Amino acid sequence: ARAVQRGRLRRPLAVPRAAAPAPRSLLGATPVGFWDHVLLGKPYEPAAGEAPVPAAPLASMRREFEFWYPVDMRVSGKDLIPNHLTMSLYNHAAVWQDDPAKYPRSIFCNGHVQVDAEKMSKSKGNFIGLLQACEKWCADATRFACADAGDGILNANFDTTIADRSILSLTAELEWARAALAGSAKDASMRPAGAAATWLDAWFANEMNRLVLAVTEGFASMRFRDALKHAWYGMQEARDRYRSGCVESGLDAELTRRWVEWQALLMVPITPHWSEEVWSAVLGREGCAVRAAWPTPTAPIDAGVSAAGAYLFKVSSVIATAMANHEKKAAKAKGKGGKPADGGAAAPKPNQARLYVARKFPRWKERVLELLRSHFDADSGAVSEAVRAAISGCDEIKVPSWVVACHEGRQPVCTSSDG
């Protein structure tokens, strides 16, 4: 349009009668040969009596069309699926019937925006404009709440509570990162240089690698809520677990710095101003975070380490819950005088736990793993369906739910040789 209209994308709303007429379009009519060349790449042959289009703008428009097509993604509202978006596909199929590569590569639809689970409208007084949101919460907090509002064609819910909390969370993390790297954080003492690595170091590094892949996939597929889930909440949870597990040994300085750097970079698409502050003021890096290289895993993801970590934190949670329940029961059993209701001595508060670790699986579980291994196809990376008949015909095997979980990969499995 820019080239055809000689740089005039819009006509004046009102033209005085005495004014000179606007310059004519490059094309007096709509010559088929012109569009066949620009859109289909056919040789340009002006029709009889038709003024030929100059070669320079013709080549420029063809080059520009090739640059922009095919469309990587068209984004629109879900209410346009049965009309505009469907007709767009029909139009592309009609024009480029011999060149499907020119069809849109993807179409992304979104729902309507709600505020605190209610329809946004001026009559209700809950209408929030972009400028108003930025003035109330700041740009990054607004973007944070928008990313958390939802994915897909369901109505997005802008939760003002999330926007409020994000300001506190982003500020707190900025201060923690600054204190941790400076060695002044109360809950994050660094391990002495040259100290031996711990198992949690390997888990933390592996978890960060896993989260980077999950965040990348979320952004690539336009699932911003999923991306935020891993980029912020997932990274926060990983850091918190690593920090609580390294109270005695201290944090690894290199891993901690990597976490701060990756946390800033993974959040750049959502909270660019916060990320720039971390990048320059905390990490002391030059340039802009938005121009920095996207994080890439430092090693392949170790599923065994992930499964072991999930099990470890599950056991830790079970113990903590049991301790909390014990204290609640003890407090409930006390009489008005602060003594047990039955008059006996108060039970001492538990200060240790005894864990029993099985050195190997029960025989029936070992048999399940043997059958799964024997029916595993390394080329396809899948287990043959024939394993179901083999398992059902084995008298040693019980507890079908555990068997199904192993078959579907939902049950973390570590052999005795894995430790």
348-372: pLDDT as tens digits: 778 888 888 888 888 888 888 888 8
Cross-strand bridge partners of residue 114 = 119, 157
Contacts of 33 (CB under 8 A, 6+ apart): 42, 44, 45, 46, 47, 50
Q: Which of 351-372 are b and which e, b meaning 16 or more Cβ less than 10 Å from the residue's Cβ?
A: eeeeeeeeeeeeeebebbeebb
Structure-block tokens of residue 36: 């066949």
Q: Find the largest Cα–Cα distance for the chain.
A: 113
Structure-block tokens of residue 45: 């042959």
pLDDT reported for residue 21: 46
Cross-strand bridge partners of residue 340 = 334
Cα–Cα distances (Å) from 72 to 75, 80, 101, 399, in that order, read 10, 18, 11, 49
pLDDT digits (tens, 9 = 90+) for 267-279: 999 999 999 999 9
Which amino acid appears at position 28 of this protein? Answer: G
DSSP state of 251: B
pLDDT reported for residue 20: 45
Q: How far apart are CA 266 and CA 224, in angstroms?
A: 12
pLDDT reported for residue 344: 60
Query: Residue 289 in contact with residue 272, Cβ under 8 Å?
Result: yes
- 3-state class (DSSP) for residue 157: strand
pLDDT reported for residue 385: 86
Q: What are phi and psi of 214, to 5 degrees?
A: -65, -40
pLDDT reported for residue 418: 43
pLDDT digits (tens, 9 = 90+) for 46-104: 888 878 888 998 999 999 999 999 999 999 999 999 999 999 999 999 999 999 999 99
Query: Residue 115 in contact with residue 80, Cβ under 8 Å?
Result: no
Query: Residue 264 in contact with residue 283, Cβ under 8 Å?
Result: yes
Question: Which stretch of DSSP H or E encloses residue 254?
Answer: helix 253-266
What domains does the chain contain, in order, with CATH numbers? 74-110 (no CATH), 118-291 (1.10.730.10), 357-419 (no CATH)
CA nearest 335: which of 346, 323, 325, 351? 346
pTM, full prediction: 0.77
Question: Which stretch of DSSP H or E encloses residue 244?
Answer: helix 235-245
- Can you give the length of the chain in residues? 419
Q: Which segments of 96-234 does DSSP mark as H helices, in order?
A: 130-137, 139-147, 160-182, 199-220, 224-228
pLDDT under 70: residue ranges of the chain: 1-30, 334-347, 395-419
